Structure 1
């Protein structure tokens, strides 16, 4: 219980554990579904890439406010580039092909952008988010359009400022565009409609998919309860991934992490960058010898337990 408590105090560490657990449950589903072995390797490789990027980028997190505005604009530019010159299938342009693998940049970048916007807001970030909305409307992608509306709407409900209102209005307009544009792509086995097809294979496969999808929301739920000062961030994080799962349930869109595809796995681990390393950081530090001693003991228990 001490190990569990130590993990609960570290949102990123908890998120890493949830990501790994969801990937493992997804692998179990795919094995029961008879998916190609290559699919399993891709998801495992994506988790390794995502965790490596999280570890490397996490070192510059303290200076994030200095560069996050420019990074948001750059990521929006990548999404716009995908809409115009990405791999096109039946008029839909959501992917880029690298080394023979199709990646969906919106699943990789958009969760990080939305949750970062809930934490740091500026004119440059607002411009970047509006550009991202335009990119999703051009692709078009209803699932990611819904992610934008729910994620930005959650932020606007918690704290109404001009940046939040502008981006929310833009996201609603962009989502409306995706609804009127045709989206004829059928479901791909082991990628879309997994929340339903898994139960047709075996109840165990269905429970694995359902359990893995629920794991994605655990960092948001725990953070909301334990870290009142950063609730807007946790709420946006939970809203983004809930919307992604909901989009997969309502249409032919990738089922995050538990289905085949590395983009959502990398996107989930990258979005953990926006969560505090330790609950309470950013809302005021706990001082006093007793608190620091408890933190040191908690660190030691967690390290031993994970080892």
Structure 2
């Protein structure tokens, strides 16, 4: 069935989000999460809903300079490398009081969205390559893979005539490979990185449902790509981003996005949804 209405996609997404939150709370509880983790997870979902509505309402009405937006994303990663929380050599988090936010989760949806819309600006692709380098130095193979897949998806849809975006895709792919072959020394937390395996042991049915819902996270973006051709590049790029994060959880020692414990992935999913499900504007953001 071809989806032709953003309202239908929004309703489907709301059902998916509600089911995901319920299963997430049950899964991280079964995997041994403390009660305060359940509270943080629930509050993060509420905040993500607010961000999705806010971004969806106002984002496309702003006249963004896309290369500036990407540069701001790169700057956030630089600040994380300089002043972020370090664990076993990895610097992926910024401390906000008692909460540690995974920076890449927050900034990559914006960077991917800007890259997919910024092929008319030659400044966008080099900044995307810089972001890929920064992800490598953060020792974040899952985000490196996700970002490389997102850049490739955006380029394949738009097929830019310039060589620079294609070179950026190749560089990001090589850096993602380098990130994956590097050893990962971070220990797994049962209700974060090891969520699916530990939930499957505690409750096979719940573990199976959690896995299905996690794999279904890119579905709203794929639906938007089918329903709205003018948003296809950005929607497929975001779908690829989330596919990469899911692959990181399935094949590496990385958090289960949205379903596992952690505020940043939930906020990132809300931001990503706001970017593609938002109200239409009379004019798309300019590339420069």
Q: 1:67 to 1:250 in 2, by over 3 A?
A: same
Distance in 2 (alpha carbons) for counterparts of 1:245 and 1:224 = 19
- State whether structure 2 residue 244 is matched by structure 1 residue 246: no
Would the aligned equivalents of 2:56 and 2:277 in 1 still touch at CA under 8 Å?
no
1:45 to 27, 43, 46: 43
The CA deviation at 1:190 is 0.3
- State whether structure 2 residue 276 is matched by structure 1 residue 275: yes
Q: Alignment partner of 1:113: what SS?
A: helix
> Where do 5+ consecutive residues of structure 2 fail to align?
none
Aligned counterparts, 1:1-307, within 5 A: 9=7, 11=9, 14-121=12-119, 122-161=121-160, 162=162, 163-277=164-278
The CA deviation at 1:200 is 1.0
Would the aligned equivalents of 2:221 and 2:239 in 1 still touch at CA under 8 Å?
yes
* Cα deviation code 1:278-301 (max 9, x no counterpart): 699989xxxxxxxxxxxxxxxxxx
* Cα deviation code 1:179-238 (max 9, x no counterpart): 343321121110003222221111222123113213312212322332334322222121
Distance in 2 (alpha carbons) for counterparts of 1:200 and 1:224 = 36
The CA deviation at 1:82 is 1.1
Q: Alignment partner of 1:191: what SS?
A: coil
> Where do 5+ consecutive residues of structure 1 fail to align?
284-307
Would the aligned equivalents of 1:21 and 1:215 in 2 still touch at CA under 8 Å?
no
Q: Alignment partner of 1:66: what SS?
A: coil
Q: 1:205 to 1:257 in 2, by over 3 A?
A: same
Would the aligned equivalents of 1:12 and 1:277 in 2 still touch at CA under 8 Å?
no
Distance in 2 (alpha carbons) for counterparts of 1:14 and 1:280 = 23
Would the aligned equivalents of 1:79 and 1:105 in 2 still touch at CA under 8 Å?
yes
- TM-score for the superposition, normalised by structure 1: 0.81
Q: Alignment partner of 1:190: what SS?
A: coil
RMSD in angstroms over aligned alpha carbons? Answer: 2.6
Which segment is superposed worse, 256-265 or 60-69?
60-69
Quick check: which has more Rg, 1 or 2? 1
Which segment is superposed worse, 263-272 or 50-59?
50-59
The CA deviation at 1:259 is 0.5
Aligned length: 279
Distance in 2 (alpha carbons) for counterparts of 1:280 and 1:222 = 20
Would the aligned equivalents of 1:80 and 1:132 in 2 still touch at CA under 8 Å?
no
Q: 1:58 to 1:277 in 2, by over 3 A?
A: closer
Distance in 2 (alpha carbons) for counterparts of 1:127 and 1:15 = 34
Distance in 1 (alpha carbons) for counterparts of 2:93 and 2:60 = 32
Distance in 2 (alpha carbons) for counterparts of 1:16 and 1:75 = 28
